[in-house]
Amino acid sequence: MPVIRALSTVAKQALQGFGCECQPFTIAVRSISFSPRQVTSDASFHSVSFSETAHPKVLITGKFLGQTFSLDVVSCRKQFGNNNVILSDIRKPPSHVFHSGPFIYSDILDYKNLREIVVNNRITWLIHYSALLSAVGEANVSLARSVNITGLHNILDIAAEHGLRLFVPSTIGAFGPTSPRNPTPDLCVQRPRTIYGVSKVHAELMGEYYHHRYGLDFRCLRYPGIISADSQPGGGTTDYAVQIFHDAIKTGKFECNLKPDTRLPMMYIDDCLRATLEVMEAPAESLSMRTYNINAMSFTPEELATEVQKHMPDVQVTYKVDHVRQAIADSWPQNFDDSNARKDWGWKHDYDLPELVQTMLNFIGSDSRVARVN
């Protein structure tokens, strides 16, 4: 079984608890290309082509795989080798992360530090999740510009210099009020009005430029709002769709910060992880583009609340609109056209709204019962 299919299975184990076995695999790595910084830098270095005969060495930047992109790292390392998945961040990791396997301090604004990590650990794949989200970015534009743009430039240069396969997620926030909203195709006018969105358009275009100019194996997916049962909301505009489940179970009340009829594309974490892993596994010749929309469902806060109340009729839902978040949401797509992803590399989602709600309530409700017992 190729590693990516195995990783997808392990990711689903984190939420569903099934067992899995994995067979050995091989992966071919391109010859080393050159980045602009490598060409102009005076630093001396040795660029060595190499191949991985057993496992890729994966470096993941930021947020311990992301608050909404968290894999079961312990299970992954048991399956694929404890030293082959390296997490990195500028924050002190939680105990379970620190003791599960390799963790490295990494500041994406420090080019030399990143380069040292890649060289010393023979990294072959780089998954770059470090970013400030939409609402948080608007509250601190200068920091968002540094992390989301300057940090990206460091990542691109290092990935090109060392022949890495690079994944950078994009978002519905990469579109703007002049974009077609229902549906929104892969290629159209974007022009976002948030620093988060601007930085993601920048990442898409720079990644595609590096692919065409330097041969960088750049791959990118535009995520809809991602809903995860094992994480807390992280400051994004779509995070109401996570908060409602926590509040419904803990207090029986939920106050939504978007209007009840605000329609946005959404996806459950299992589908998100699987899409990411599948596009990473896809043969390069099957990719007609380097940045794809992916989608699963599209709903409003009112529709989500109605589905939750089918299981918990007593939940009270009220609305207190946050005008910053509402303005952001009103500039975003209502529905993604992901037909190219489905055609090129066989993308297909598993979770619609009823399955999403049932899974979230089961997972969070179980955690809440355990917490009360403890």
Give the CATH number for residue 68.
Answer: 3.40.50.720
pLDDT, averaged across the chain: 82
How far is residue 219 from each of residues 234, 278, 318, 356, measured CA to CA in Å?
A: 24, 11, 40, 27
Residue 69 in domain: yes
Is the residue at 307 inside a domain? no
More confident residue, 39 or 339: 339
- 365 occurs within a structural domain: no
Q: pLDDT value at position 92?
A: 84
Which of these, 51, 56, 48, 10, lies nearest to 280 by C-alpha position? Answer: 56
Residue 173, domain extent? 3-44+53-230+267-297+334-351
DSSP 174: G
pLDDT tens per residue, range 262-298: 999 999 988 988 898 889 889 999 999 999 999 999 9
163 located within any domain: yes
- φ, ψ for residue 227 (rounded to 5)? -115, 120
Q: At what angle do helices 195-214 and 151-161 cross, to 10 degrees?
A: 20
Answer yes or no: is pLDDT of 221 > 60: yes
pLDDT of residue 367: 56
Give Cα separations from 238 to 71, 117, 233 (angstroms). Answer: 20, 33, 9
> Quick check: is 254 in a domain?
no
Selected residue with higher pLDDT from 138 and 17 = 138
More confident residue, 131 or 50: 131
Residue 215 has pLDDT above 90, yes or no: yes
Q: What is the pLDDT of residue 150?
A: 95
pLDDT at position 204, please?
Answer: 98
Q: Is 142 helix (H, G, I), strand (E, B) or coil?
A: helix
Angstrom CA distances, 76 to 3, 82, 168, 271, stand at 10, 8, 20, 18
**Domain count for the chain:** 1
140 is a domain residue = yes
Catalytic positions are 196
Contact 56, 125 (CB under 8 A): yes
pTM score of the predicted model: 0.80
Question: Rounded distance, CA 84 to CA 78, Å?
Answer: 10
- pLDDT value of position 35: 64
Least confident of 16-20, 48-52, 95-99, 345-349: 16-20
CA 32 to chain centre: 26
- At 39, the pLDDT band (50, 70, 90 cuts) reads low
Quote the tokens at residue 341: 């992803």
pLDDT band at 88 (very low <50, low <70, confident <90, very high): confident
Is 216 part of any domain? yes
In a domain? residue 30: yes
Q: pLDDT (tens digit, 9 = 90+) per residue, 58-73?
A: 888 875 444 334 444 5
Q: Dihedral of the CA atoms 102, 67, 332, 138 (nearest 10)?
A: -90
The stretch 200-226 carries a mean pLDDT of: 96
